[in-house]
Structure 1
Amino acid sequence: LPEGKTLKTVLTPEQYKKLDAVLVDYMGVGLSNPMVAQQMGKMSPATLLTQLMVLQYLKAHMGEFDPTNLIDQYFQKQAKQNNEPVGGLETLSFQASLLYGAPLKRQIQQLDCFLNNLDYYAQLTERMAKAYYAQDVKALLDLMNEKFNTTCDSTPEEMAQLLDNRNLDWASRMPAIMKAAPTLFVVGAGHLPGSKGVLKLLQEKGYTVEAVKP
């Protein structure tokens, strides 16, 4: 957060109380703990929201889910062990700006949506994971298109910035990378489905896209 601001100063007392209760539920301690207040009290709402989603899934899958060894990290480790090159389609600074650079008011809105709809977001994550493992791209798209019909919903501009524009950029650069060497691209599940998804964009360029057989 900007200098001089904390979550306690940017959130309403009600929002702060809800947040504290969620942290106690997920971690056993809340913002009244000095260490938690120091570590999380100055996080931007967007950064905190990302952490809360991970904590929510971790609580539901204790012993099954390791947030320090996610799928992209797994493949990077494998590549390095095999002395294979690892690159990126975007810079970390671009991603940080995209994911955490929304106006503070909008970040607070989205955090508040999560705090008020915990069960929905928990189920949404489970349903998306199930669709992903089932290779059901249509189900993924349907889940991404679910709406509250409130300010909780991403605007068309936000969706274009988060997904569509990046998909177009990636699909335009993938052919040259693949031509240079066989390449594994690891992207978020939300980038796969739809007419503007990476799979469709590659098909439109003449590529054959097939699901990996289990």
Structure 2
Amino acid sequence: MNLRNPFKPVLLGCLLATAATATADTAKPAEIPVPLLWKVSDADNAVYLLGSFHLLKPSDYPLSKDVDAAFADAERVMFEVSPEEMQSPAMPQLMMQAALRTDGKTLQQDLDAATWTRLQAWADRNGLPLASFAMFEPWFMGMTISIMEMTKQGLDPKLGLDNHFMEKARAAGKPTAGLERAQDQIGVLDGMDAVEQRQLIAESLEQAEKGSLETERLHESWRRGDAEGLWNGMAADMKREYPRLYQRINVDRNDAWVPKIRQRLTEPSSDDTLVVVGALHLLGKDGVVEKLRAQGYTVERVCSACKAGAR
């Protein structure tokens, strides 16, 4: 799986112990990435919305001057989960506790025969003993598949856009905050019903079976700032094939975030805010960008390299 998965920031810390080692990336990019960046304004301040790719390569840096300017203009930076929680030593323990089964069943008992066969084939190809995951909830297995696939293709969570700006904000002394608590984010995963968890594994396996070309295509779309291409590659299929999963991990969370972003606009100050979240959350009619535009805010794409009129 790829950018479809908005939970990677929380999961990376505890899953990378089992993930394959990322390969070095020494290729020099032909161009600086075109940002997925929007500016939302009211009468006295603004919020910049920046679409993240949670795992990146050294060649994805430096970022564009548009992104650097947005960071410089912002007095505060917000993320899906605050840096304090993301970097807490308690995070892996919270995740593992949530993922452990308490019903006495095993992973195989949760899956239909066809999905179990596909999962066994994937595990064999990657040298991963499924017995190690027998007592974990299916959603944890689905996330493991996603992250292992991306890291072995040379994408590194330490270089992800979220982590980059967490470090940059710390160095600049800018205050940071999260749009949701880590436990809330974990709870969304752990609260999935059996159907949704099976969908997550199936979707993860589907993307893994497509191989590196799918991830490379999406990574290149992100580099080009291709919002339509990313939407079609990340969300359109999920919305059509796994609607309950799409609603839970994307729409419901976007709806919860919009009032918190609006609060930054309605506060009686001229302070601006940079919001860095997974690109999926900004795209399409269910995305934060269109939700804020529908509420009457002025929203413009900030992209010097884009064609005139791009949104």
Q: How high is the TM-score relative to the length of structure 1?
A: 0.76
- Aligned 8 A contact 1:203 1:209 in 2: no
Residue 139 of structure 2 is aligned to residue 46 of structure 1: yes
Q: Which amino acid aligns with 1:66?
A: D
Higher strand share: 2
Is the counterpart of residue 120 in structure 1 residue 224 in structure 2?
no
**What is the DSSP-based 3-state SS (H/G/I as helix, E as strand, rest coil) of the residue aligned with 1:74?**
helix
What is the distance in 2 between the residues matched to 1:20 and 1:10? 14
Match of 2:121 in 1: 21
Structure 2 residue aligned with 1:132, among 204, 222, 225? 222
Q: How far has the Cα of 1:88 moved from its partner? A: 0.7
SS of equivalent to 1:106: helix
User: Are the equivalent residues in 1 in contact too, given 2:179–2:257 (CA < 8 A)?
Assistant: yes
The answer on 1:58 being equivalent to 2:158 is no
Report how far residue 161 of structure 1 moved.
Answer: 3.1
Say whether 1:154 aligns with 2:216. Answer: no
Q: Distance in 2 between matches of 1:174 and 1:113?
A: 30
1:124 Cα deviation (Å)?
4.0
Cα deviation, residue 66, structure 1: 1.4
Separation (CA, whole Å) in 1 of partners of 2:179 and 2:185? 10
- Find the partner of 1:172 among 237, 251, 259: 259
CA distance in 1, matches of 2:112, 2:291: 43
Larger mean Cα displacement after TM superposition, 159-168 or 47-56? 159-168
Q: 1:211 to 1:94 in 2, by over 3 A?
A: same
Report the residue type matching 1:206 in the other structure: Y
Partner Cα separation in structure 1 for residue 218 and residue 113 of structure 2: 33
Secondary structure of 1:209's counterpart equals strand
Secondary structure of 1:102 counterpart: coil
What is the TM-score normalised by the length of structure 2?
0.55
Determine if contact 2:199/2:245 at 8 Å carries over to the other structure. Answer: no
Deviation by residue 1:173-203 (Cα, 9 ceiling, x = unmatched): 2133255522110111111122232222333
Q: Deviations over 1:20-47 (max 9, x none)?
A: 4323433xx3216xxxx44x33222112
Residue aligning to 1:208:
299
Is contact 2:139–2:189 with CA below 8 Å preserved after alignment?
yes
Structure 1: where are the runs of 5+ without partners?
A: none
Q: Is the 8 A contact 2:145 2:208 kept in 1?
A: no
Q: Check if 1:30 corresponds to 2:128.
A: yes
After superposition, the Cα gap between the structure-2 partners of 1:60 and 1:7, relative to the gap in structure 1 and judged at 3 Å, is same
Further displaced range: 44-53 or 197-206: 197-206
Alignment partner of 2:171 out of 81, 86, 98:
81
Provide the secondary structure at the position in 2 that maps to 1:172: helix
Q: Indicate the residue corresponding to 1:70 in structure 2.
A: 160
| CA–CA separation in structure 1 for the residues paired with 2:255 and 2:111 | 36
Structure 2: state its 5+ residue gaps: 1-99, 306-311
With over 3 angstroms needed to count, the CA separation of the structure-2 counterparts of 1:42 and 1:192, relative to structure 1, is same
Identity %: 23
In structure 2, distance between residues paired with 1:176 and 1:23:
45
Which is richer in helix? 1
Does the 8 Å CA contact 1:89/1:170 hold for their aligned counterparts? Answer: yes
Aligned twin of 2:48: none
Cα drift, residue 128 of structure 1: 2.7
Query: What is the rounded CA distance, in whole Å, between the counterparts of 1:109 and 1:160 in structure 2?
Result: 12
Structure 1 residues 56 and 211, CA, compared in 2 at 3 Å: closer, same or farther?
same
The alpha-carbon distance between structure 1 residues 15 and 78, as it changes in their structure 2 partners (threshold 3 A), is same
Which amino acid counterpart does residue 145 of structure 1 have in structure 2?
A
Which deviates more, 16-25 or 81-90?
16-25
Of 188-197 and 163-172, more deviation after overlay is shown by 163-172
Q: Is 2:91 the partner of 1:91?
A: no
